[in-house]
């Protein structure tokens, strides 16, 4: 997530995406850039075009939201959950609710199912 009124958060977000991709090398994990504070149009420092171009270059999705006006919040949540559920479905033989590093039975799918039922 980055703030449309801050180039620093926009640049930090790119570094974070690159770091995630490096850590998860070889996997095509779903990532969404979320530009928040879209209600601050007069203070905008990151254009929609610039964000869309960066999202395309980084091969991630992009959406702008405003927590203040509730603009695109529900749409963003639905898109993130859809991406996560599709990704979990593609894990194939791996058990989606368990980490390969430990035997933690936290149940990622159960968590996503509970969130989906709230939306």
* pTM of the predicted protein model: 0.70
> Residue 83: CB partners within 8 Å, gap ≥ 6?
30, 32, 61
Q: Model confidence at 25, in pLDDT bands (50, 70, 90)? A: confident
Highest-confidence segment of 22-36, 41-55, 99-113: 41-55
Separation CA 100–CA 117 (nearest Å): 27
Domain ranges of the chain: 1-71, 74-119
Second-level CATH architecture of 1-71:
3-Layer(aba) Sandwich (3.40)
């Amino acid at each position: 997530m980055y703030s449309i009124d801050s180039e620093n958060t926009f640049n930090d977000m790119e570094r974070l995406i690159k770091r995630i991709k490096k850590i998860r090398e070889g996997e095509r994990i779903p990532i969404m850039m979320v530009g928040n504070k879209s209600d601050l149009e007069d203070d905008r420092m990151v254009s929609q075009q610039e964000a869309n171009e960066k999202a395309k270059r980084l091969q991630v999705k992009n959406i702008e939201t405003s927590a203040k006006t509730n603009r695109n919040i529900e749409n963003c949540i639905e898109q993130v959950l859809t991406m996560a559920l599709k990704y979990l479905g593609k894990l194939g033989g791996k058990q989606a609710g368990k980490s390969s590093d430990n035997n933690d039975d936290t149940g990622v799918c159960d968590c996503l199912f509970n969130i989906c039922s709230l939306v």
